[in-house]
């Protein structure tokens, strides 16, 4: 099996709430663990940015299923590429709500990898998206252990 990484972004519906994010997370963890998919999902500024890692066919089917979810719209595939190893292998899926973290530090992270302080993956390269997500994972782990 060759590992692949898929990165996509989309916009949350205006009525999206905490309950919706929790539901997405719970279903993702269950489905992904069974399918051998790992990754990270960020939500902030009404935008989803997600990385899926695993078998190409499985992550393609997962992305297709996600793209049909009515809680978001305008999904955009940023990258689907073979990889040597997983970056987010410890999580079947981890969701990070950026608004629940220190807003100034999050804004600084976004600004480091993009042109603004709001999350706009459509203005970022796939490499910038990946590096941003790696930084978010580190930031989240530090905040969670404090």
Instruction: Look over the chain and give the mean of its residue pLDDT values, rounded to a whole number.
Output: 89
Q: How confident is the model at residue 18 (pLDDT cuts 50, 70, 90)?
A: confident
Residue 75 has pLDDT above 80, yes or no: yes
pLDDT digits (tens, 9 = 90+) for 82-122: 999 999 988 777 788 888 776 888 899 999 999 999 999 99
Higher confidence at residue 90 or residue 59?
A: 59
Under DSSP, is residue 21 helix (H, G, I), strand (E, B) or coil? helix
| Cβ atoms within 10 Å of 56's Cβ, excluding its own | 16
Helix ranges restricted to H, the chain: 18-35, 56-67, 103-113, 126-145
pLDDT of 146 reads 66
**pLDDT at position 38 over 70:** yes
Question: Could you give the CA distance from residue 44 to residue 72 in angstroms, rounded to a whole number?
Answer: 13
Report yes or no: 112 and 106 within 8 Å, Cβ to Cβ: no
Distance CA 52, CA 80 (A): 9
* Degrees, nearest 5: CA angle 56-58-63: 95
CA count, 13 A, side-chain hemisphere, 125: 5
The per-residue pLDDT for 132 is: 95
Looking at residue 57, its pLDDT comes to 96
């Amino acid at each position: 099996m060759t590992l692949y990484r898929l990165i996509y972004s989309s916009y949350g519906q205006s009525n999206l709430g905490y309950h919706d994010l929790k539901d997405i997370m719970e279903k993702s963890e269950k489905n992904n663990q069974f399918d051998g998919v790992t990754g990270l999902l960020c939500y902030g500024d009404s935008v989803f940015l997600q990385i899926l890692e695993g078998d190409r066919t499985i992550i393609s089917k997962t992305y297709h299923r996600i793209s049909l979810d009515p809680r978001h719209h305008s999904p955009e595939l940023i990258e689907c590429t073979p990889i040597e190893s997983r970056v987010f292998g410890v999580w079947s899926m981890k969701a990070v709500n950026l608004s629940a973290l220190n807003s100034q530090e999050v804004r600084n992270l976004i600004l480091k990898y993009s042109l603004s302080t709001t999350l706009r993956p459509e203005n970022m390269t796939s490499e910038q998206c990946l590096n941003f997500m790696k930084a978010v994972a580190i930031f989240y782990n530090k905040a969670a252990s404090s």
